[in-house]
């Protein structure tokens, strides 16, 4: 298998792998003869979504980001046109395009679903539930992390969300404050909650399939708020195992389930009691590992984890729909697991995301595949003008030129004289040895004068004592007239009285 001429780069770039060895696949129904790598994520690619036309791809990852790829606008460097971080530091769990392709839903480790347009701008954010209410039917939204999100098959304004809080809630895109309908999956036994790991609509939207944490599969009616399922298979998978994905065939009768017990099982919804076929030995390491049906409804496709004993990467496995026997497989070149999978019928291309490395691989057949990633593979990046690329911009500070200086520079003085801008007052707590102040303090300081320094009253009077003795003005002249007897300095009470014997 030979790689294309684009060399591997950092995680912000992409490279391509082409000219796959056709001997790896003997079945021409599988478009896996050539491949291209999209390297933008840094961690596990947990979910992928293609619009109905197959022109735009959205990828979500454990690195908290969504990448939007436009095949018609990309060149052979395979870079996304936009990267967003919609939920902060929450892993992206699921993403689904609407049937019309004009918007998409995103579910993450947070309990709030969000709606985006096809360019990655947020359109709506839906309500969060009250985690302190025991009755989950009375909360406006989910109280724990979301696991899956999906659209109504016929109504473009309705969608559903599944969560670890044990509920499936049905929403209207225009009503963000509360869900419209709820399915509460009650646990069997002591656990307080029965988390819903996977869910999907049937094609006519008359029923809903849920996979829960106790290993059971159940079918619910979508009319009203049902309290019990229509049918249920207890321990469909090993108790404690997590059902990572559900898929429904085109005939709407065959259900495929993938779980962490390393199995893929087939079920008939008309006789929902025991599996039609079981395929074991399909190891996985990520709870988002998917299972899908091929566009011709003849095969089932799923991914496997890495084989640490043989030091091999995961595989993309093609199974017969009726017997679950392996028909073909694609070996991942890197030592990474195959997690999220898409097979778009319109462009006949397979896209899957890898675990750990953050790589997205697009598989196609030059003879049967159309558009999609092939548009970008044939488009060379624009060449930059050599002169413009080598031209280094020069930044000139006007005050550094002599003609802009008010006075000739003086080496003994620092600054630029009259051109020096005064320091701005420091706001807040202050820094760099300067005390901060607010606007009111600065205004009052300019309006009010500085108070005189404080002086001792006794000292203030004593400095006039000598002058008062030499030049008496008020008290001494008053006694010279003879009409007033001068008072002695001795207090009357202190005079000695004659002693009586």
Is the domain defined by 16-384 classed in CATH 2.130.10.10? yes
Which residues lie below 8 Å from residue 338, measured CB to CB, with a gap of 6+? 289, 303, 304, 305, 314, 315, 316, 332, 352, 353, 354, 355
For the chain, domain boundaries: 16-384
Residue 370 has pLDDT above 60, yes or no: yes
30 band by pLDDT with thresholds 50, 70 and 90: very high
* Burial profile 261-285: b = 16 or more Cβ within 10 angstroms, e = fewer: bbbbbbbebeebeebbbebeebbbb
- At 207-258, the pLDDT tens digits run 999 999 888 899 998 887 888 899 999 889 988 788 999 999 988 889 999 9
- At 295-305, the pLDDT tens digits run 999 999 999 99
pLDDT at 179: 93
248, 200 in Cβ contact below 8 A? yes
- At 330-352, the pLDDT tens digits run 999 888 999 999 999 999 999 99
Token pair of 156 as six digits: 């473009």
Closest CA to 160 of 132, 196, 194, 192: 196
Token pair of 188 as six digits: 């069997």
The maximal CA–CA distance of the chain, rounded, in angstroms, is 150
For 145, the 3-state DSSP assignment is: coil
- At 64-109, the pLDDT tens digits run 999 999 999 898 889 999 999 999 889 999 999 999 999 999 999 9
């Amino acid at each position: 298998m030979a790689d294309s001429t684009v060399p591997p780069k950092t995680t912000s770039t992409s490279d391509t792998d082409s000219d796959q060895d056709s001997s790896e696949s003997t079945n021409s129904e599988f478009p896996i003869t050539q491949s291209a790598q999209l390297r933008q994520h840094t961690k596990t690619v947990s979910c992928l979504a293609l619009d109905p036309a197959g022109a735009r791809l959205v990828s979500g990852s454990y690195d908290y980001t969504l990448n939007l790829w436009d095949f018609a606008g990309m060149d052979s460097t395979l870079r996304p046109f936009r990267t967003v971080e919609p939920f902060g530091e929450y892993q992206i769990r699921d993403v689904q395009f609407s049937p019309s392709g004009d918007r998409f839903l995103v579910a993450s480790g947070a309990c709030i679903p969000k709606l985006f347009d096809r360019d990655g701008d947020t359109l709506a954010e839906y309500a969060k539930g009250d985690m302190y209410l025991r009755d989950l039917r009375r909360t406006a939204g989910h109280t724990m992390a979301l696991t899956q999100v999906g659209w109504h098959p016929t109504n473009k304004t309705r969608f559903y969300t599944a969560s670890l809080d044990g509920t499936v809630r049905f929403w209207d895109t225009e009503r963000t404050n509360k869900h419209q309908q709820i399915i509460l999956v009650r646990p069997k036994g002591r656990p307080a909650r029965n988390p819903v790991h996977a869910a999907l609509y049937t094609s006519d939207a008359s029923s809903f399939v849920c996979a829960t944490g106790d290993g059971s599969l159940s079918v619910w009616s979508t009319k009203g708020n049902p309290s019990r399922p229509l049918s249920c298979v207890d321990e469909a998978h090993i108790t404690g195992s997590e059902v990572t994905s559900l898929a429904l065939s085109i005939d709407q009768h065959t259900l495929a389930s993938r779980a962490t017990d390393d199995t893929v099982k087939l079920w008939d919804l008309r006789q929902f009691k025991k599996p039609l076929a079981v395929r074991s030995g399909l190891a996985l390491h990520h709870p988002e590992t998917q299972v899908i049906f091929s566009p011709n409804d003849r095969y089932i496709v799923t991914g496997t984890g890495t084989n640490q004993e043989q030091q091999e990467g995961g595989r993309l496995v093609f199974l017969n729909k009726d017997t679950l026997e392996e028909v073909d497989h694609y070996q991942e070149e890197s030592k990474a697991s195959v997690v999220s999978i898409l097979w778009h019928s319109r462009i006949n291309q397979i896209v899957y995301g890898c675990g750990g490395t953050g790589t997205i691989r697009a598989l196609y057949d030059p003879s049967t595949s159309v558009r999609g990633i092939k548009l970008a593979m044939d488009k060379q990046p624009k060449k930059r003008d050599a002169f413009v690329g080598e031209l280094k911009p020069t930044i000139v500070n006007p005050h550094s030129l002599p003609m802009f200086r008010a006075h000739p520079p003086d080496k003994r003085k620092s600054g630029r004289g009259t051109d020096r801008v005064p320091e701005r007052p420091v706001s807040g707590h202050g820094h760099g040895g300067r005390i901060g102040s607010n606007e009111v303090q600065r205004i009052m300081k300019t309006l009010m004068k500085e108070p005189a320094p404080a002086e001792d009253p006794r000292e203030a009077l004593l400095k006039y004592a000598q002058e008062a003795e030499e030049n008496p003005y008020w008290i001494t002249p008053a006694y010279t007239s003879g009409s007033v007897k001068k008072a002695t300095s001795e207090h009357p009470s202190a005079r000695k009285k004659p002693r009586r014997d």
